[in-house]
A and B are shown apart, each in its own frame.
Chain A
Amino acid sequence: MKNEAVTIEELHSVQQVKPESYSVTKNVNRLWMNRILIGVVFLAFWQFASGRLIKPFWVSDPYSIALRLYEWFSTGFIWIHIQATLSEMLIGLALGSLLAVIGGLLLGSSRFLGDVFYPIILGLYSVPRIALVPLFVVWFGIGMASKVVLVTVVVFFLVFFNAFTGVRDVDQDLINTLRIMGASKRDIFLKVIIPGASRWVFTGLRLAVPYSLMGAVTGEIIVANQGIGYLVSWSSGMFDSTGMMAALFILMICGVVADTIVTRVESKALIWKRNE
């Protein structure tokens, strides 16, 4: 009797496997349904409230914003601004992280260079980056160059300290093990230090991506002649809340896309960390 009961239970547990994996996709679907529902309710309330509870002057309304976005895209007006912001962001991101990784690896692996330069970099780091914008505008003009430099500086500090710490944090036992195997300095650098520091660098890059967008937009808001940040500030100057909201919407999309890309790349590159 008892044996039989166990068998039946086992049968049940086997059968349960399928419905369970089924309900995972079901849950995901439900999650998305909820998210979309909340979005729709929010937009509907906004549309309702605008003009009834609050003046459209302050918050505009979803319909007008959508119309404005359609207008911007259909006339092609927006592309030059998107292109400006994304270029500033990407060039700055590339330059900043490249310099930071090189600097971090160099200062991290050389005790002497680290001791000399680390305090200097720490000192520079304490200057609020936004305060540098007027200086960069004088040096590089109000065009894209000054924003690229700003983003580069913002990204540099975020990634540099991670790369530096990553190199310093590399397990000495791993290095010794490879040295006993006969590894040259180059082997150790390529096989231990760079991969070991990479997860720190990724952490820094992860932070750097949203900050690079922020840097580009901040620069554009302060002074510029193109870019999405410029659109926000220009619309603000015209008391055009619809324009501001439409520009902010584009920024949100840019941020989400950038973040998704980073997450994808990170999970590919750091596959060995997944089970930790």
Chain B
Amino acid sequence: MIDIQNLSKVFRSGGTTHVALQKVNLKIDKGEFVSFVGPSGCGKSTLLNMIAGLIQPSEGSLLYEGEPVAGINQKVGYMTQKDTLLPWRTTEANISVPLEIRKISNAEKKEKVMRYIDMVNLRGFENHYPMQLSGGMRKRAALARTLIYDPDTILMDEPFGALDAQLKLVMQDELLRIWRETQKTIIFVTHDLGEAINLSDRVVVFGAKPGRIRMIKKIDLPRSRDVFKVRFHPHYGEIYEELWDVLEQDVGKGEVV
């Protein structure tokens, strides 16, 4: 579904060049949940931006369903770390943006928006503006807005990074439920190794300077997982340790993990 071969990205500014990603090889299957972890500056967000088509590779190829990604990739939905709800629109109006773009009729739009508002548990907050919502609610609204136009793949760049630990688990739980229901492909960038293990089929560990893949680890914890309890699974500790050993080599090389 997504096929990345020998992909490199070099940023040049003035006389200096910065290798953001070097010879990345990765295949992601349809319906898979894959997480990218690694220190800041390891190129994981850069790779996400390339899959979204926001930036172009310097070398190598990036195929999405067999087609090279040239320009904005409209088959994906993208949830960034910063929430990108339109501040002048209510929750309901924000979630309906993709439908407006697709010129869906008003009746259908209303019905669908309400269904997704229910899906992300935002009933009662339809007429609130983003400023009036909590961080977690804004994330839910952004998620509903991403899901509503039914992209095959959802890219998430540290979507829960700014939330407190408990809320993070709640959001992970909801994300897994929605993933099961919708069977999307999800690529999830995070700083948080525990979060990556909780959620993913595979975890891709990135190293910094230059950004590259250090390890791809299949997480063979049983589905469906309970994010509140999965860390007590007998294999969890092993998996965490194995990944941490790899991740640790780069800690301090970038900024912070």
Contact = CB atoms under 8 A, between A and B. Distances in A.
B101 interface: yes
Contact of A191 (B74, B86, B87): B86
Contacts of A182: 74, 98, 101-102, 149
A4 interface: no
A271 B131 CA distance: 11
Interface residues of A, number: 24
A53 B145 CA distance: 72
A37 interface: no
A221 interface: no
A9 interface: no
Given A195-B88, A272-B87, A180 B77 contact: yes
Contact of A180 (B74, B87, B89, B129): B74
A173 B82 contact: yes
A233 to B, nearest CB: 45
Contact of B101 (A174, A187, A271, A274): A187
A196 to B, nearest CB: 8
B29 interface: no
Nearest to B90: A272
Contact of B84 (A171, A183, A198, A276): A171
Contacts of B88: 195-196, 198, 272
Interface of chain B, helix or strand or loop or mixed?
loop
Contact of A177 (B53, B80, B131): B80
Interface in B102-139: 102, 129-132
A28 to B, nearest CB: 26
Interface in B65-110: 72-74, 76-78, 80, 82, 84, 86-89, 97-98, 100-102
A27 interface: no
A275 B132 contact: yes
Interface residues of B, number: 26
A274 B131 CA distance: 8
A181 B149 contact: yes
B73 A180 contact: yes
Interface string A178-213: 111111100100011001101000000000000000
Given A272-B87, A272-B129, A178 B76 contact: no
A42 B216 CA distance: 81
A273 interface: yes
Contacts of A171: 84
A225 interface: no
A183 B86 CA distance: 14
B162 to A, nearest CB: 15
B54 interface: yes
B78 A177 contact: yes
B34 interface: no
A176 interface: yes
Most buried by A among B53, B129, B149: B129
A187 to B, nearest CB: 5
Interface string B176-192: 00000000000000000
Q: Which 7 A-B pairs have the closest CB atoms?
A: A177-B84, A272-B129, A275-B131, A181-B98, A272-B88, A182-B74, A195-B88
Interface of A: 171, 173-174, 176-184, 187, 191-192, 195-196, 198, 271-276
24 contacts: A173-B82, A173-B84, A176-B78, A177-B78, A177-B80, A177-B84, A178-B97, A180-B52, A180-B54, A180-B74, A180-B76, A180-B77, A181-B77, A181-B98, A181-B149, A182-B101, A182-B102, A187-B100, A191-B100, A198-B88, A271-B129, A272-B129, A275-B132, A276-B131
Given A178-B101, A182-B74, A275-B132, 16 more contacts: A173-B80, A174-B84, A176-B54, A176-B84, A177-B78, A180-B52, A180-B73, A180-B77, A181-B97, A182-B149, A191-B86, A191-B100, A195-B88, A272-B87, A272-B89, A272-B130
